[in-house]
Amino acid sequence: MLNFDYENKTRIIFGEDTHKTVGEVLKPHASKVLLHYGGGSIKSTGVYDDVINSLKANNIDFVELGGVKPNPRLSLVNEGIKLCIEENVDFILAVGGGSVIDSAKTIALGAKNEGDVWDFFLTNKDNNGALPTSTILTIPAAGSEASSGAVITNEDKELKLSYGRENLRPIFSIINPKIYFTLPANQIANGVCDMMIHIMERYFTNTKNTELIDGLCESTLKTIMKNALILKEDNKNYEAWSEIALAGTIAHNGLLGIGREQDWASHNIEHELSAIYDVAHGAGLAVVTPAWMTYVYKTNVDMFVQFAINVMGVDVAYRDSDKIALEGIKRLKNFFREMELPLRLEDLNIDDNKLELMAKKATNFESGKENLLGGVKKLNWEDVFAIYKLAL
């Protein structure tokens, strides 16, 4: 196990109707709030009215900025930064899923730092502070409600990049599983895949003697898969949503990555799909991750055998390590198929025209300082290109 320094300041407020307390919880922290959200779903479900009523009841002044799209755009972030500065906003409340929360975090970053906020994503430099943020989660998936990172798409440059610091972690996040009852099947499936891969990016490692976190990862993955299948048949099952929602937060709040080298190749490889083709992140991960697993598993076959046996239930009677590992990958793909997720780039209407371009962008090859991706196996652009071809 590696040395680590883990901190998580986010207060989690969990349960039915908890979103209606947001004004009371916010009051000690804020005098003027930016209310940030996506499309019309929070209005059609009544969540918007509940939030507005709670803010007004607690005499909290606010301005609004809606319009966040999946794969949140830098252009709207810049609009939000300008609004926060002009209106003297001192707190941002994100009501939405991961895209809204990531957009809010980036606005918070830009409002407290001079210059182009995109530079933080390009250079990973330290910042001089950020406005505090909090969230009301409307889609459990990305885990951004308790994470220190954000992912933003620069639509002009067709780049999707991440940035993270502890001062971006939300002050509190409200999770009401009942809000998720109206989510369509494709969003449930994409969200389930996203949170599973958040765990797997941490789980697959070359670090030895990580038994406790291995077990937590495996248990969380099995909990997600079990309850995802329940929701596929009954999307108003409160207990199943409670398990999924909590698992999504645990998957990405940093706990499951302590003491171990992490990977993150699948996310970086998928980001090119989202940036160029505007693919839903979870759908892209369902295609990319099994291809990545197939390409790298021999580098640390024992870890993939462990996954196959402890998570996917492969019988050790297979005996041969390669067969066990590959059977585990096959069963993961079967689960994704059962959730009606795409399994090939072809399913996402992506052909081979831009695969080499995406591989070179993912590794920053053309800068002359190529960034190798991954932890289990270090991947250059040619490796990434091969993984894309496996995913066709």
> What is the pLDDT at residue 364?
92
Same domain, 63 and 170: yes
Q: What pLDDT, on the 0 to 100 scale, is given for residue 366?
A: 83
pLDDT, residue 22, reads: 98
The predicted-structure confidence for 350-375, as pLDDT tens digits, reads as follows 999 999 999 999 999 988 889 999 99
Torsion of CA 37, 38, 44, 45, to 10 degrees: -60
In a domain, 6, yes or no: no
Asked if residue 38 is part of any domain, the answer here is: yes
By the 8 A CB rule, do 196 and 224 touch?
Answer: yes
* Two tokens, residue 75: 């252009």
> Residue 319: pLDDT band by 50, 70, 90 thresholds?
confident
Q: Which pLDDT belongs to residue 102?
A: 98
CATH number at residue 239: 1.20.1090.10
Predicted local confidence at residue 75, as pLDDT: 97
Average pLDDT, the chain: 97
Residues 198 and 342 in one domain: yes
Q: Is the domain of 42 the same as that of 81?
A: yes
pLDDT at 385: 98
To the nearest whole percent, how much of the chain has pLDDT over 90? Answer: 97
Q: How far is 359 from 365, CA to CA, in rounded Å?
A: 8
Quick check: is 126 in a domain?
A: yes
Are 268 and 379 found together in one domain? yes
pLDDT tens for 67-90 read 999 999 999 999 999 999 999 999
On whether both 146 and 189 belong to a single domain, the answer is no
Domain shared by 71 and 15, yes or no:
yes
Q: Give 316's pLDDT tier (boundaries 50, 70, 90).
A: confident
Percent of the chain with pLDDT over 70: 100
Q: Based on the domain organization, do 122 and 259 belong to the same domain?
A: no
Residues spanned by the domain of 120: 11-178
- Reported for 290-295, long-range contacts at CB under 8 A and 24+ positions apart, including other chains, are 290/329, 290/332, 290/333, 290/336, 290/343, 290/391, 291/387, 291/388, 291/390, 291/391, 292/265, 292/266, 292/387, 293/204, 293/329, 293/332, 294/326, 294/329, 294/390, 295/377, 295/383, 295/386, 295/387, 295/390
- Is the pLDDT assigned to residue 26 strictly greater than 80? yes
Q: In this predicted structure, what is the pLDDT of residue 29?
A: 95
Q: Is residue 289 part of a domain?
A: yes
Q: Model confidence over 33-53: pLDDT tens digits?
A: 999 999 888 999 999 999 999
Residue where one domain finishes, among candidates 178, 209, 238: 178
Q: Is 200 found in the same domain as 165?
A: no
Q: Identify whether 45 is part of a domain.
A: yes
Residues 262 and 132 in one domain: no
Tell me if 1 is assigned to some domain: no
Q: Both 169 and 200 in a single domain?
A: no
The enclosing domain of 130 has a CATH number of: 3.40.50.1970
Specify the pLDDT at position 302: 97
pLDDT digits (tens, 9 = 90+) for 136-170: 999 999 999 999 999 999 999 999 999 999 999 99
- Comparing 52-66, 194-208, 363-377, the range with the smallest average pLDDT is 363-377
- As a whole number of angstroms, the distance between CA 151 and CA 132 comes to 17
Does the residue 5 lie in any domain? no
Q: How large is the average pLDDT for residues 20-30? A: 97
Q: What is the domain count for the chain?
A: 2
Whether the predicted pLDDT of 236 surpasses 80: yes
One domain for residues 116 and 171: yes
pLDDT band at 97 (very low <50, low <70, confident <90, very high): very high
Last residue of a domain, one of 141, 163, 178: 178
Residue 282 in this model has a pLDDT that exceeds 90: yes
In a domain, 2, yes or no: no
Task: Give the mean model confidence (pLDDT) for residues 187-208.
Answer: 98
Among candidate residues 128, 153, 178, the one where a domain is terminated: 178
Mean pLDDT of 217-246: 98
Question: Do 259 and 213 sit in the same domain of this protein?
Answer: yes
pTM score, two decimals? 0.95
